[in-house]
Amino acid sequence: METHQIRYFLAVSQTGRFTQAAKQCHVSQPSLSIQIAKLESELGGPLFERTKKGVTLTARGEMFLPRANAILGEMESARKEVEALSNLSMGSVTLGCLPTTGAHVLPQILTTFRKSYPKISVQLKEESSPGLARNLEQGEVELAIVDEAGLKPALEHVVLLKEDLLLALPPHHALSQKKSLTLKQLADEPFILMKSGHGFRQITMDLFRRVGLTPHVVFESDGIETVQALVAAGLGFSVVPRMVAKVSKVVYVELAQPQASRTLCLAWRKKSKLSPAAQVLSRVIQETFKTN
């Protein structure tokens, strides 16, 4: 069964004549008749009763009529939806982001995006960088803002931001007056880190490995806000991205050796073509980071 056959069937049922239906469909009458015959053969019997005054629907034709209308109606709806998506008047996209990073960057990104594309919905998924990498590979998200811990061979990416990492010190600590410190100067101090499985935990541990140290970890948390709250309470030191270094009771000091930074990237799966909605969201995300 082909679309044009259904269209021809509906034209004949509406006009009651093969000749008029052929004109309406811009085909010759013999061609239309051949296609109707093929459709009747596929459906197991005649759809029309032919008389000198024209044609009328048989019982089989009456049964097929509402289904033919439904089929063409669904096809037209699908065509309009795809066209609308191509014109970016509607659609949806799933964006993954690091939880703490999202709190700092998503409000501006999504406000800008909604102003330009109000009918495109954005579904958010917050996860660690390794988790977001898995989500991308499995097709659960189209785009994700990750750090270097989330970059995998199966993913493409563009760099959005490279930011310094800072030491977070408890208030009133003797070293809090220093302008910069090295990790070796803090070798015997207690540290508070993100839990294993978080991308930033991996980045932090890589820093210690670069200078041959193992941190004395006294507390671990799933949230960078909790990490900093524990630092503010005087329970230990930590390493944090500059973006989140905004807790009033924490003292932030430059890390002299090794020099440290993290890189935020926008990533997507190599083997998948981004939808039109994901393409424009990608552009908005990159432009937002460039202007900040």
Domain ranges of the chain: 3-86, 91-160+264-291, 162-262
Q: Cis peptide before 258, with omega less than 30 degrees from 0?
A: yes
Q: To which H or E segment does residue 50 belong?
A: strand 48-51
| pLDDT for the residue numbered 89 | 65
- Say if 3-86 and 91-160+264-291 have the same CATH topology: no
| pLDDT for the residue numbered 199 | 87
| pLDDT for the residue numbered 81 | 63
| pLDDT for the residue numbered 155 | 94
| pLDDT for the residue numbered 276 | 86
162-262: CATH superfamily? Periplasmic binding protein-like II (3.40.190.10)
| pLDDT for the residue numbered 51 | 83
| pLDDT for the residue numbered 291 | 80
CATH ID of 91-160+264-291, from 3.65.10.10, 3.40.190.10, 3.40.50.12160, 3.40.50.300: 3.40.190.10
Low-confidence ranges of the chain (pLDDT < 70): 80-89
Quote the CA–CA distance of 1 and 4 in Å, as a whole number.
9
Q: Helix and strand tally (H, E) in the chain?
A: 9, 12
| pLDDT for the residue numbered 20 | 92
Quote the CA–CA distance of 172 and 154 in Å, as a whole number.
47
CATH ID of 3-86, from 1.10.10.10, 3.40.190.10, 3.30.470.10, 3.90.1300.10: 1.10.10.10
Burial label for 219, CB within 10 Å (0-12, 13-18, 19+), is middle
